[in-house]
Amino acid sequence: MNILSLSASLSLICLIILNLLWEIFYNPLQEDGSLMVFKSLILLIPLSGILKKNLYTYQWSSMLILLFFIEGVVRFYSEDGLSQMMALFQIILTIIFFISTIFFCNITKQK
């Protein structure tokens, strides 16, 4: 169970960092920045509950992360170069987070 909470926490933190770097430095919609950075702030909402191992946060954040999975898939097929690789990393991180949260909830509920 500790490995599941650790992998969920690390994948969420890495996803926040990836999205910030992606939207601020590499792929801004405008040269002076973009409001797409705020999508990274959405991921900060469940971070506290994930770090505290709150079961309810694990449950609802596993559904929230699917939006980022969808975005990663769309951007993977619509962009090229480094942006496509970042989209692939986003897909991988969301899958790790989703699987970790699902199994964490399953094991926690069985106790």
pLDDT tens readout for residues 62-81:
999 999 999 999 999 998 88
What pLDDT does residue 99 have?
97
Mean pLDDT over 42-55 rounds to 94
The structural domains of the chain, with segments of one domain joined by +, span 2-110
Angle at which helices 38-51 and 2-21 pack, to 10 degrees? 160
Read off the tokens for 37. Answer: 């950075």
Average pLDDT of the chain is 90
pLDDT tens-place string over residues 78-109: 988 888 999 999 999 999 999 999 999 999 88
**Whole-model pTM over 0.85:** yes
